[in-house]
Structure 1
């Protein structure tokens, strides 16, 4: 499974959208109705799923699916 597919599968567990409906410009809070608690739980699962460590100062810059995917890819390149 590709990073994008695994990522969208994980996101879909927190919202009413299927992975196929999750386009890159979808915003977590505004479009997907993530609560703060949902987002924090989601970030923890991201770290586990992709074996990365997210930095707090970078997390606050994540608003869309594309931004989150880009960050995951960059972190995996470093590892």
Structure 2
């Protein structure tokens, strides 16, 4: 199972593919909407790509709760049972 750092790397790669953002800007503490200026359509694309990559389902009502890159990484780590101390 992937570790949190591997998950962050994959999330960063997906965000870059969908938005064209510099991967160096995509860090765990960054907010998708406020810091990275990612709109709702791009968030849907990111979510779908993450679901495909990790083989998980992120419920639509859960997506707004995943405000930062770190929130998403934590959600994936918890769901996959990885990244725990």
- State the TM-score bracket (shorter-chain normalisation): 0.7 to 0.9
Superposition RMSD in Å: 2.0
Higher RCO (CA-CA < 8 Å; seq separation 6+) = 2
Alignment gaps of 5+ in structure 2: none
Partner of 1:74: 78
Give per-residue Cα distances to partners, 1:1-40, cap 9 Å, x unaligned.
Answer: 8222111111122335322332211111111111111111
Partner of 1:48: 52
1:60 is paired with a residue of what secondary structure? helix
Partner of 1:60: 64
Alignment gaps of 5+ in structure 1: none
